[in-house]
Amino acid sequence: MAAAAPRAGEGTSAPLGATPSEEGVNFSIFSRHATSMELLLFDGVDDARPARAIRVDPAVNRTYHYWHVFVPGLRPGQIYGYRVEGPSDPARGLRFDAEKVLLDPYGRGVVVPDGYRRAAAAEHGDNTATAMKSVVVDPNAYEWEGDAPLRRPSARTIVYETHVRGFTRHPSSGVGEKTRGTYAGLIEKIPYLRDLGVTAVELLPVFQFDAQSAPNGVNYWGYQPVSFFAPHQAYSSRRDPLGPVDEFRDMVKALHRAGLEVILDVVFNHTAEGDHHGPTLCFRGLDNATYYILQHDRTRYADYTGCGNTLNANDSTVRRMIVDSLRYWVEVMHVDGFRFDLASILTRDESGQPMPNPPVLWDIESDPALAATKLFAEAWDAAGLYQVGSFVGDSWKEWNRRFRDDARDFFRGAHGSLRRFADRLVGSPEIYGHKEREPEQRVNFVTCHDGFTLNDLVSYDRKHNEANGEQNRDGCDDNRSWNCGVEGPTDDPAVENLRNRQVKNLLTVTMLSIGLPMIVMGDEGTLHNDNCVGARHLCWLRQSTRPVFCTISSSVSAHPAQLVLELTPREWKRRWRDSAAKAAAYGVRPRRLSGLSSVGAITGNDRCVRQLRLM
């Protein structure tokens, strides 16, 4: 006869999440409106029933709105979840469903059963066998071997935006089949990244996301998070519950050894639970009215994201969760920075109104653990809020969307684009020409993960997203592109030559304009993505413009943005075979300006001449 399990103890309200010790594990979770709760312990991720269900007694295991319990004998790797009872009263914004297994918002690991069904979390009935579940993780059980965030000056940073799966998933990557599309696979391509000359790898979302949260049922990009602490399980080559956490840290350590920083694209503006018809995965079933911004009648979600809901980022509980998440990724996972998707949403209050001094942004900026962390903002949202040049805070770096648009306009010959393009080259002075903004606080880019690649930009006049089943409705219609005379692929050598010249021109101005440059995975090799089916896997056979980018980046990365870049002709190697290469054939020589304390942007009053000949 099996011995009875040790009796659960009272536990403590702090810290939140699952905290292991030598004696067992303490569990703590927040819910203001719950009436009762069960902690579910599982032997396997696919189990239809928990091995043990522990009642969390509100009379004993509750401190204010924090529910907690200590379970002796448990160890890291334990799989768990919650069932939470409370009012199902949409008129009050409450949507409890005790039939659903919920993730722990502070869970450091997540496992996904082979039979996971997003729909089961939205339907009536028990979803235990098909639900994602949390994993107990010991944050200290890893040998970092002296590793720490690199803290490279922003002025010496070149960002390479990449997708963990897409970077090595294609067989041409040369990565073994077992590790293609994983954290381990990315480690194998570090020599390529070093040769490219970039200094920071910006990973598209790696928080655990719902891979079925997409119109066609396959979410590739990762912008549907279900956890803000757990790395995405499917990006790990290991199948054990703790594998993704350790493999992610292996990747970070290897990148740091190569001198490459790790920046995470983070989504704190919405979750994968969608609108009022969506699934109950975590936050909705714990305390819907706390975690989300609701419309005035409380039955519907305010949607400033285009994804069905909006996280209530300036609520005190949610605010704390966001800061705790960032601290965890810096202190425990050793990342170097964050790019905030639709960051302007973080300025909205619980009624959706923008605030002049949003608490969550100042909490992030003033946190000592984040003081040396790079913070990048996509300073707009899907509901029209646009804060480029005026985003709240002193240390935030902003994606310069004006640079993208005006560079595209100039190289397609749009009327009136010359003056705007000149402003972008010299640091967008009308946007950033004030003392509160440093040169590296503008992030210059022509393309990113959203929309056209650089090759698409010179190959199509309009989007062609017909192949993904959405009838070409998805994606932006304002691409400011030029197909160079033929729509789509062509074997006309004159058109191909012109397109290659345009790509080189666009790469060159991105790298040499005042600000912090960013390129997206594959643009150095003319990756195409039109007619996208929801995935962008880098083909390693297309490397026609990579030598151009390598030469520019090796020059630029050696010089801080505080030094004006005087462009001067220089002799180039044989790999520059066509006259278009002259577009990038300018060395970068630093020259200090007398009378200027800082080169934030160059204006008409500055005694400086910049000359760039584009062929």
Q: Give strand ranges (E) for 333-461.
A: 337-340, 374-377, 397-399, 442-444
- CA–CA dist 277, 286 (Å, integer): 17
Nearest to 244 by CA among 252, 233, 253: 233
Q: Is the pLDDT of residue 23 over 60?
A: yes
Record the pTM. Answer: 0.89
Kindly list the structural domains of the chain, giving each domain's residue range(s) and its CATH number in brackets, ordered by start. Answer: 17-135 (2.60.40.10), 402-559+566-574+590-615 (3.20.20.80)
> Does residue 378 carry a catalytic annotation?
yes
Q: If pLDDT is split at 50, 70 and 90, which confidence band does 230 have?
A: very high
State which amino acid sits at residue 593: L
Q: If pLDDT is split at 50, 70 and 90, which confidence band does 529 have?
A: low
- Residue range 417-467, pLDDT digits in tens: 899 999 999 889 888 876 566 777 899 999 999 888 898 899 898 866 655
| Contact call for residues 467 and 533 (beta carbons, < 8 A) | yes
Q: If pLDDT is split at 50, 70 and 90, which confidence band does 546 have?
A: low
- Residue range 485-508, pLDDT digits in tens: 888 888 999 999 999 999 999 999
- CA–CA dist 365, 354 (Å, integer): 18
Nearest to 336 by CA among 138, 139, 153: 153
- CA–CA dist 8, 25 (Å, integer): 10
> Does residue 571 carry a catalytic annotation?
no
DSSP code per residue over 205-256? --B-B-TT-STTS---S---BS-SSSBPGGG-S--STTHHHHHHHHHHHHHH
pLDDT for 436 equals 65
| Contact call for residues 11 and 61 (beta carbons, < 8 A) | yes
Pick the range with the lowest mean pLDDT from 21-35, 148-162, 421-435: 421-435
Three-state SS letters, 508-573: HHHHHCCCEEEEECCHHHCCCCCCCCCCCCCCCCCCCCHHHHHHHHHHHCCCCCCCEEEEEECCCC
Q: Is 352 left (phi over 0), alpha (psi -120 to 50) or beta?
A: left
Tokens of 380: 């707009």
- CA–CA dist 285, 303 (Å, integer): 19
Averaged confidence pLDDT in the chain? 86
Sign of CA dihedral 71, 76, 78, 84: positive
Helix, strand, or coil (residue 291): helix
- Residue range 283-321, pLDDT digits in tens: 999 999 999 999 999 999 999 999 999 999 999 999 999
pLDDT for 550 equals 65
- Tell me which H or E stretch contains 364: helix 359-366
- Residue range 178-221, pLDDT digits in tens: 999 999 999 999 999 999 999 999 999 999 999 999 988 899 99
Q: Is the pLDDT of residue 84 over 90?
A: yes
Q: Taking residues 144-157, what's their average pLDDT?
A: 94
- CA–CA dist 601, 613 (Å, integer): 20
Tokens of 327: 């601290």
- Residue range 326-367, pLDDT digits in tens: 999 999 999 999 999 999 999 999 999 999 999 999 999 999
User: Which residue in 378, 381, 423, 496 is the catalytic one?
Assistant: 378
User: Which residue in 287, 341, 496, 530 is the catalytic one?
Assistant: 341
Tokens of 532: 């996208």
- Tell me which H or E stretch contains 34: none
